[in-house]
């Protein structure tokens, strides 16, 4: 989403968040005209047994068991691959149903962060679910790959909520840092945000520099034809941002990944984890 060209890369893992990732990918595609690529990554341990079950077997029986275990591993790897393709085909059907025509799928092997590093130059945004397949019932646990992806990615990361809802109002967390202004610049240039109401908010001290930065942000958005207002609110970002989202019906939270206030910790510390965990709307993190 910083680059105004490129694909919408959606990571699909078969979790209960996958349908929402597909719905949000389709929403972005229809607003921007960008194609969607659905990617499922098979981890290095998928399809292979990790335990050595042959340690106490001797002579010919050991060799026979080793061969049988190797055959079972090969069969399991084949089934896992088939499952991955089935997940991708289901995801394609959802995005197609949502009205997108340019859809590709890709099955990758290896580490998800390495996969993103290989392909993110093709991307304008990377979509991921808030929780992964193994965390569906652990409400306090974020997907194990989420923070790794946010740390590594150079493209905006769109963290999808559990269910898609139409987005009309966008809250932008502004702390005066470079990544926050980059987020505002991106919003001004992206067709995704046309027609949406934008509120740029600073949580913390009300200083002349912050006021000037907010006014510059508002001017940039207004020049792009966006309806925008600004606010300064006292308190802690992880508390007040959540209150605003919940209390005023914002459909998306956008924030810079790095800054020079307490919001800095939104990616690299507990604050971001708390924001992504507690917010019931998509969170877009930008470096």
If pLDDT is split at 50, 70 and 90, which confidence band does 201 have?
A: very high
CA distances from 24 to 28, 166, 265, 278, 284 (A): 6, 9, 26, 19, 12
From 107, 126, 159, the end of a domain falls on: 159
If pLDDT is split at 50, 70 and 90, which confidence band does 175 have?
A: confident
- β-strand partners of 170: 198, 252
If pLDDT is split at 50, 70 and 90, which confidence band does 213 have?
A: very high
Same domain (yes/no): 141, 239: no
Same domain (yes/no): 207, 233: yes
Residue 188 counted as domain residue: yes
Residue 193 counted as domain residue: yes
C-alpha 121/C-alpha 248 separation (Å) is 36
Cβ count near 178 (within 10 Å): 12
Residue 212 counted as domain residue: yes
The number of residues in the chain equals 287
Residue 174 counted as domain residue: yes
Q: Answer positive or negative: Cα dihedral of 178, 253, 125, 197.
A: negative
Same domain (yes/no): 173, 114: no
Residue 2 counted as domain residue: no
Residue 52 counted as domain residue: no
Residue 265 counted as domain residue: yes
CATH number at residue 19: 3.40.50.620
Beta-strand pair 283-286/157-160: antiparallel
Same domain (yes/no): 251, 122: no
Residue 14 counted as domain residue: yes
Same domain (yes/no): 185, 132: no
Report the domain count for the chain: 2
Same domain (yes/no): 98, 203: no
- Domain, as residue range, for 94: 7-46+81-159
Tell me, what's the pLDDT at 160? 93
Of residues 32, 48, 267, the one with CA closest to residue 151: 267
If pLDDT is split at 50, 70 and 90, which confidence band does 268 have?
A: very low
If pLDDT is split at 50, 70 and 90, which confidence band does 287 have?
A: confident
* 47-56, 125-134, 189-198: least confident range: 47-56
Q: For the chain, what is the mean pLDDT?
A: 83
Give the residue-averaged pLDDT of 49-57.
48
Q: Answer positive or negative: Cα dihedral of 104, 93, 126, 115.
A: negative
Same domain (yes/no): 124, 222: no
Tell me, what's the pLDDT at 229? 95
């Amino acid at each position: 989403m910083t680059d105004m060209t490129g694909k919408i890369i959606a990571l699909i893992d078969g979790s209960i968040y996958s349908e929402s990732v597909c719905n949000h990918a389709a929403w972005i595609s229809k607003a921007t005209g960008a194609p969607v690529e659905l990617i499922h990554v098979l981890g290095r341990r998928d399809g292979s047994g990790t335990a050595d079950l042959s340690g106490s077997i001797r002579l010919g029986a050991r060799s026979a068991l080793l061969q049988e275990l190797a055959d079972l591993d090969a069969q399991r790897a084949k089934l896992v691959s088939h499952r991955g393709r089935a997940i991708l085909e289901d995801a394609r059907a959802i995005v197609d149903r949502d009205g997108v025509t340019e859809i590709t799928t890709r099955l990758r092997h290896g580490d998800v962060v390495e996969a993103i590093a290989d392909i993110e130059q093709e991307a304008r945004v990377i979509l991921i679910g808030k929780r992964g397949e193994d965390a569906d019932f652990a409400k306090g646990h974020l997907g194990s790959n989420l923070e790794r992806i946010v740390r590594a990615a150079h493209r905006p990361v769109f963290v999808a909520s559990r269910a898609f809802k139409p987005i009309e109002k966008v809250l932008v967390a502004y702390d005066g840092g470079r990544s926050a202004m980059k987020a505002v610049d991106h919003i001004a240039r992206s067709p995704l945000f046309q027609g949406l109401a934008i509120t740029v908010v600073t949580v913390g001290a009300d200083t002349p520099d912050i006021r000037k930065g907010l006014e510059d942000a508002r001017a940039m958005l207004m020049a792009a034809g966006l309806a925008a207002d600004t606010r300064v609110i006292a308190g802690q970002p992880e508390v007040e941002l959540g209150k605003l989202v919940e209390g005023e019906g914002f459909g998306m939270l956008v924030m810079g990944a790095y800054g020079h206030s307490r919001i800095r910790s939104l990616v690299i510390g507990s604050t971001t984890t708390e924001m992504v965990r507690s917010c019931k709307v998509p969170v877009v993190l930008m470096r």
